[in-house]
């Protein structure tokens, strides 16, 4: 196995022993003699129907900052569990589940895609019939071009691992929120919700608007633009559209808000144009003070969603 900073940080988290923390290696990505583990973490209640917050990162290997946000939060949470009795009592009632790094091969090799040159976020069975953006929305022209969906109806191993994990750990919950952390689009941080494939509002738009209102009231100076993914562009094969529709079929009475945080990395490049010449510079904050600010900003969001999952009566009006 070839290691790197993000994978090493995740490995360190797996060594922490606490009865509320369950971690495991759920699969390995093997390619041309290289082997990379994918780790998962479950924190809190073991009741599959308990309210749950899912945290996911690294589906695009170039976007290291997404994994870094998740790992930073988990590291802080694990330390807090060692002394915060109120937090421990809260986690006996609901759960946090996480795969911090879904595409380790891509992250090691500084690639958006997986070893098969496939964009995992364009690889699900979900399809759009709306107007699409050439290449960007997903295509099957060539694996030499970015945003390639793949030509098979079978999902890639990394994506199938994510899908199976979400079905196992989120689908039985009646109240669920997940966040998939990305970077690279625009000058502003966007918090996207379904759908990516259609302009039609998703079933839980009212609950999403209620949650947005809570965020605005609780953190009036937050920096997020909150909107459906399709307001920016439509996507072929979006994984979270697929998982949301599958959740509704499995659990029609439940409420699930699968969110995508798209960190606007262009602002980092605007403030430091020379970083485009450094590996990963288009997608990640390279200056230490910008990295620290990014961590603080998004840890606040995770903590808000953590409290919201456990207080769903505030945004699910039934």
Domain definitions of the chain by residue range: 43-314
pLDDT in tens, the chain (318 residues): 578 999 999 999 999 999 999 999 999 999 999 999 999 999 999 999 999 999 999 999 999 999 999 999 999 999 999 999 999 999 999 999 999 999 999 999 999 999 999 999 999 999 998 989 999 999 999 999 999 999 878 999 999 999 999 999 999 999 999 999 999 766 789 999 999 999 999 999 999 999 999 999 999 999 999 999 999 999 999 999 999 999 999 999 999 999 999 998 566 666 667 666 567 657 777 678 888 888 999 999 999 999 999 999 999 986
CA–CA gap between residue 48 and residue 139 (Å, rounded): 36
Q: What is the residue whose two structure tokens read 């485009």?
A: 276
Between CA 188 and CA 193, with CA 189 as vertex, the angle to 5 degrees is 125
Alpha helices (runs of H) in the chain, residue ranges in sequence order: 5-13, 64-81, 85-91, 104-108, 157-169, 205-218, 239-250, 266-271, 288-310
pLDDT the model gives residue 85:
97
Q: Please say whether the beta carbons of 86 and 205 come within 8 A.
A: no
CA–CA gap between residue 136 and residue 146 (Å, rounded): 8
CA–CA gap between residue 185 and residue 233 (Å, rounded): 11
The CATH classification of domain 43-314, taken from the options 3.30.1330.50, 3.30.565.10, 3.40.630.10, 2.130.10.10: 3.40.630.10
CA–CA gap between residue 286 and residue 294 (Å, rounded): 11
Closest CA to 307 of 177, 174, 192, 213: 177
Strands 34-44, 21-31: pairing is antiparallel
Instruction: Classify residue 296 as exposed, middle or buried by CB count within 10 Å of its CB (0-12, 13-18, 19+).
Output: exposed
List of residues 6+ apart from 302 with CB closer than 8 A: 53, 55, 69, 73, 179
Closest CA to 170 of 70, 56, 57: 56
Q: In the chain, what is the straight-line distance between the N-terminal and C-terminal CA atoms, in Å?
A: 50
Q: What is the residue whose two structure tokens read 């107007």?
A: 131
List of residues 6+ apart from 308 with CB closer than 8 A: 177, 211, 214, 314, 315
């Amino acid at each position: 196995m070839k290691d790197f900073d993000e994978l090493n940080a995740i490995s360190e988290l797996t060594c922490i022993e606490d009865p509320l923390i369950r971690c495991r290696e759920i699969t390995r990505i093997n390619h041309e003699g290289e082997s990379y583990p994918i780790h998962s973490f479950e924190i809190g209640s073991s009741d599959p129907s308990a309210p749950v917050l899912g945290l996911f990162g690294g589906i695009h290997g170039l976007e290291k900052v997404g994994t870094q946000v998740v790992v930073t939060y988990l590291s802080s949470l694990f330390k807090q569990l060692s002394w915060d009795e109120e937090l421990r009592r809260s986690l006996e009632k609901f759960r946090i589940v996480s795969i911090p790094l879904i595409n380790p091969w891509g992250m090691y090799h500084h690639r958006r895609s997986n070893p098969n040159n496939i964009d995992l976020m364009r690889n699900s069975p979900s399809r759009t019939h709306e107007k699409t953006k050439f290449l960007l929305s997903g295509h099957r022209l060539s694996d030499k071009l970015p945003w390639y969906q793949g030509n098979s109806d079978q999902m890639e191993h990394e994506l199938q691992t994510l899908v199976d994990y979400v079905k196992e750990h989120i689908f039985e919950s009646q109240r669920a929120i997940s966040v998939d952390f990305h970077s690279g689009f625009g000058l502003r941080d966007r918090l996207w919700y379904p759908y990516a494939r259609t302009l039609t509002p998703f079933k839980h738009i009212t609950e999403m608007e209620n949650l947005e209102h809570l965020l605005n009231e609780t953190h009036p100076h937050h920096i997020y633009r909150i909107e459906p993914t399709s307001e920016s562009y439509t996507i072929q094969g979006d994984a979270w559209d697929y998982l949301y529709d599958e959740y509704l079929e499995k659990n029609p009475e439940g409420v699930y808000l699968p969110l995508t945080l798209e960190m606007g990395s262009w602002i980092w490049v605007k403030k430091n144009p020379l970083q485009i010449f450094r590996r990963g510079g288009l997608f990640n904050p390279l200056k230490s003070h910008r990295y620290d600010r990014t961590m603080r900003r998004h840890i606040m969001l995770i903590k808000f969603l953590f409290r919201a999952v456990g207080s769903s009566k505030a945004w699910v009006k039934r």
